Structure 1
Amino acid sequence: MNRFIFFLISLGLSFLINGTFNSDWYALISYTLLIYFLLDFVYSFGKDLRVLDLPILLSVFQCLVMPAIVYHLYNDDYYVKALKFDMSVNEEVYYGYMLLAVMALIVGLRFPIRGIQPVVGTPDFYRNTVNNIKEHLKGKEKTGLLLIVIGFSFGFFEKLLPETLDYFLFLFSKLIYVGIMYIYFSDSPRKNLYLAGGLILALTQAILTGLFGDLVFLSALSILLVLLGKQINFGKSIILILIGSFFVLILQTLKQEYRKVTWKDSSADKASVFFNIALDRATNIESIFDKEGAFPVVVRFNEGMIVGKVMDYVPRITPYQDGKTIWLSLAASFVPRYLWPDKPEAGGHENMLLFTGYNIEGYSMNVGPYGEAYGNFGKNGGIFYMFIYGLFFNFVFYQIQIISKQRPTILLWVPYLFLNSIQVETDTLLTVNTIIKGALFIWFFFFAFERTTRLSL
């Protein structure tokens, strides 16, 4: 019943928005999907751990809604085309693939795997798991504190150790967020003090490294954990989402300028630079919402721009790869580099060159799963691949739920494990790498931590 009401609300609001902007049918469907899944996501707060709703919302927003805005407001602009920020293909071609590909991903992510064992993933299951976590962490505040200290400390080693250890250090540095979750679910009498300290350290780490996206994603995933088992007011949840979206918007507008200043002058006080730019954005918020001021944000969020370039380039310039890059990515995830020195590197550089012809240097850009799916299999094959892609995440999360029945605290590692894999900018190589290496690291860390500290994770 709730979902039917959400659908009616979504459709009504979408007609209103669509009429205001005089957009086409594809924009109407995009707005409807975004509003519907956002309402459904918010309604689940406290009842379900909807980690897999984040890639749904990101896909609809970045691959359907943002392209609709670009097609309507920017695509025919001379300078937009000159800078290659246009969509490269017409609306019918783009949405003929992307709309069905996004729907295929949603079906894969929501396919009822847990129907095999229906006690997994229900509100009662999460309520019992949260109670088991709290019971397990009674009197164990040291565990969370130690994780926070380890995570924050390893963030400083990046400048001192070889680049080959960057990912290893990254895995350790993000333990700070896991530690915060351990503290939150503990019964420590000084919980609030420790949480405040942990959050300050996490923000400091983000400012020093410039990895604000990690801060946003880990915070969002962690909040879903914090809300489990609680009675959440739907109206207040909507307000919370709107406030969170506002801060993400502010963060997105300041990130580029912050990095430009701090990378140009490495001796600059990063905290001071960050807060000065943030204050300037917050006090001049109206500039973000005009057509010119909004353009950098739209470009940043518009993953469809890159997918459109893939669709224009393949197979016109380069042939479909028939799964070659995906099989190589899967193999590269299991074979260490010392056994395969020239194996594909994560980061998107190789796929951008192969599928779009752009040689990206000095910054990160990736064709993402939708671009890679099209570049390998074309329209119909790409749509089917996105279903399998969604099913893979569905299966991984299902297995975590099963494991949590025996070891409930594994649920606190979900944000850590899914950090770099649920984003729509990451291709198969980065996704599979993140899941496999993250899972292996968690297993190793549990084993080593419990034997060296005598503390139970």
Structure 2
Amino acid sequence: MGRLILSLVIFLVSLWLAASSFYEALAVSFSLYTFLTFVHRIGQRIAILECISAIASLEILAVPAVTYWMFPASMPIESVTYFGYALPACIAFYAGLHGFTNNSSEDSHRHYIQHVIEYLQHRKTACLFLFFIGLVGFLVKIVIPLAPAFVGTLPMYCLLISVLYAYYSRSAYRTPLIGLVVILLLANTVRTGMFGDLFFWVLLALVLGTVSFSIPLTIRSKTVLIGFAFAFLLVIQSIKAEYRYNTWGHLRNERTANAGLMTELLIDRLTYPEKLLNIRHLFASFGRFNQGIMIGSAMAKVPVHEAYANGEVLLAFIYPLVPRLFWSDKPQTGGYENIRRFTTLTQFENTSINLSPVGEGYVNFGYGGILFAYLYGLLLRGCFQAVFIMAERVPSVILWLPMLYVGCLTMETDLLSTWGSLVNSALFIAILFWSTKGIGIEL
């Protein structure tokens, strides 16, 4: 109730102070509600779906609304037109993710984590096995950067899952193993210049790890955690462009590691915090999450200059099920073709921007994309609930939720990327469980 009241207050303040439209004020207040719900759920449940809806609302509603208040000329279409689609679509997505009722029996996931702890007491070496698989994947990615996900990225993710296994099994190797994984994760960030994995994996580790705390987190503790997360994100946004400029070439495989430069940039930002806390940097960081530019540009072009795709987006649900081995021309993830076809925005070989599933819903079905957004949220929720059903037989499957959903956290990517990430991860996990059981190793 407190979250709802505060959101209502923000709605009224937005209407009064910012002289915003009804849609803009509602967009900001709804975004605040999703964020407060996410914070409230931390420590009570594995709040991955809450995290997804909070990030979606930030990128599709809150940031565009503030941009309309401050720099309306930078947005491709009028506010009323944009929010006339984006607001109901985002609310529909939220409804699909969380349902329309509040079932108190689902309020806590603590007992699931307790079952995981009990289950792993006789499987303490599983973390070492997963670490070895992850290390192999890490080395493959170094030697063959463009290796298929099944032999590179997905095995490498086992490094992070090994940390969860070590932590919850109370393995004697947990401290050195966690230390090694942190070093490897940082090394991978330096090598690739990709900071998203680092941020999202840390976020997911907190979301999952805090559920097992014997003493529930207080509001003050959650505020501190969220504050550190935003500070971390601000630092990343500050150094990312400069680091990539000095270490990336024109093509995706033209990337070099420079740990010295990374350290120098971090020290510089911590020594001179005014480089972080200034209007120019804050606006640049803020604008980075403005998904409204992509969706708005698509709404400006479709259907006036480009016809609706009439359901082509649904093919993205089929692509991940066909191995690239049997389909050499299978579409790549990244959304390049969607941006070229449905917007007037430009992008380069070594960067990517995407319409997001909500934007793809519009270019395919027009305002029918609102229903599509609901069904997509419902699909993500169904997969999440399916994991808990399987956990009744194999409790440790809960620990694989971060790997399943790490590609679904943000709306800055396309449907083929998000859904493909979830499906490929699920297939990899299933094969891993099946194959290890065949050699007598229980995960």
TM-score of the superposition, structure 2-length normalised?
Answer: 0.91
Letter in 1 for 2:407: N
Aligned equivalents of 2:139, 2:373: Cα separation in 1: 38
- What is the CA deviation profile of residues 26-69 of structure 1, one whole-angstrom value per residue up to 9, with x for unaligned ones? 33223322322222222222221121111211111111111122
Q: Tell me by how many angstroms 1:228 deviates.
A: 1.3
- Pair 1:283 & 2:271 matched: yes
Q: Tell me by how many angstroms 1:279 deviates.
A: 2.4
When residues 269 and 335 of structure 1 are mapped into structure 2, their CA distance, relative to the original with a 3 A threshold, is closer
Aligned equivalents of 1:166, 1:267: Cα separation in 2: 18
Aligned equivalents of 1:445, 1:439: Cα separation in 2: 10
Which of 181, 184, 192 is 1:198 aligned to? 181
Which of 418, 422, 425 is 1:438 aligned to? 425
Q: Identify the residue that residue 167 of structure 2 maps to in structure 1.
A: 184
Aligned equivalents of 2:352, 2:30: Cα separation in 1: 29
SS in 2 for 1:52: helix
- What is the CA deviation profile of residues 135-191 of structure 1, one whole-angstrom value per residue up to 9, with x for unaligned ones? 222254432133234323422322433735255311111111101101110122453
Q: Percent identity?
A: 28
Q: Identify the residue that residue 81 of structure 1 maps to in structure 2.
A: none
SS in 2 for 1:102: helix
**What does 1:45-444 correspond to in 2, within 5 Å?**
45-76=42-73, 86-111=74-99, 121-123=106-108, 126-138=109-121, 140-161=123-144, 163-166=146-149, 168-230=151-213, 231-263=216-248, 270-324=258-312, 326-358=313-345, 360-362=347-349, 363-379=351-367, 381-444=368-431
- What is the CA deviation profile of residues 295-326 of structure 1, one whole-angstrom value per residue up to 9, with x for unaligned ones? 321332111110011001101110011112x2
Aligned equivalents of 1:359, 1:5: Cα separation in 2: 43
Check conservation: 1:329, 1:344, Cα contact below 8 A: no
Check conservation: 1:417, 1:435, Cα contact below 8 A: yes
SS in 2 for 1:185: helix
Aligned equivalents of 1:278, 1:20: Cα separation in 2: 37
Moved more, 157-166 or 395-404: 157-166
Check conservation: 2:96, 2:377, Cα contact below 8 A: yes
Moved more, 167-176 or 358-367: 358-367
- What is the CA deviation profile of residues 106-159 of structure 1, one whole-angstrom value per residue up to 9, with x for unaligned ones? 1110116997xx86x442xx2332122112222544321332343234223224
When residues 154 and 341 of structure 1 are mapped into structure 2, their CA distance, relative to the original with a 3 A threshold, is closer
Aligned equivalents of 2:26, 2:101: Cα separation in 1: 27
Check conservation: 2:150, 2:428, Cα contact below 8 A: no
When residues 14 and 288 of structure 1 are mapped into structure 2, their CA distance, relative to the original with a 3 A threshold, is farther
Aligned equivalents of 2:17, 2:185: Cα separation in 1: 41
Aligned equivalents of 2:10, 2:139: Cα separation in 1: 48
When residues 403 and 11 of structure 1 are mapped into structure 2, their CA distance, relative to the original with a 3 A threshold, is same
- Pair 1:456 & 2:439 matched: no
Check conservation: 1:94, 1:308, Cα contact below 8 A: yes
Which of 35, 38, 52 is 2:32 aligned to? 35
Moved more, 339-348 or 408-417: 339-348
Letter in 2 for 1:35: L
Q: Tell me by how many angstroms 1:357 deviates.
A: 4.2
When residues 166 and 399 of structure 1 are mapped into structure 2, their CA distance, relative to the original with a 3 A threshold, is closer
Check conservation: 1:349, 1:359, Cα contact below 8 A: no
Moved more, 409-418 or 348-357: 348-357
When residues 369 and 263 of structure 1 are mapped into structure 2, their CA distance, relative to the original with a 3 A threshold, is same
Letter in 1 for 2:354: N
SS in 1 for 2:288: helix
Check conservation: 2:356, 2:412, Cα contact below 8 A: yes
Aligned equivalents of 1:22, 1:419: Cα separation in 2: 38
Aligned equivalents of 2:173, 2:13: Cα separation in 1: 50
TM-score of the superposition, structure 1-length normalised?
Answer: 0.88
- Pair 1:7 & 2:4 matched: yes
Moved more, 406-415 or 341-350: 341-350
SS in 2 for 1:456: coil
SS in 2 for 1:138: helix
| Equivalent pairs, count | 437
When residues 51 and 281 of structure 1 are mapped into structure 2, their CA distance, relative to the original with a 3 A threshold, is same
Q: Tell me by how many angstroms 1:250 deviates.
A: 1.2
Aligned equivalents of 2:15, 2:274: Cα separation in 1: 22
Q: CA RMSD for the aligned pairs?
A: 2.5
The runs of 5 or more residues in structure 1 that have no matched partner are: 77-85
Letter in 2 for 1:11: L
Moved more, 102-111 or 44-53: 44-53
Aligned equivalents of 2:269, 2:379: Cα separation in 1: 39
SS in 1 for 2:307: coil
When residues 339 and 157 of structure 1 are mapped into structure 2, their CA distance, relative to the original with a 3 A threshold, is closer
Check conservation: 2:92, 2:371, Cα contact below 8 A: yes
The runs of 5 or more residues in structure 2 that have no matched partner are: none
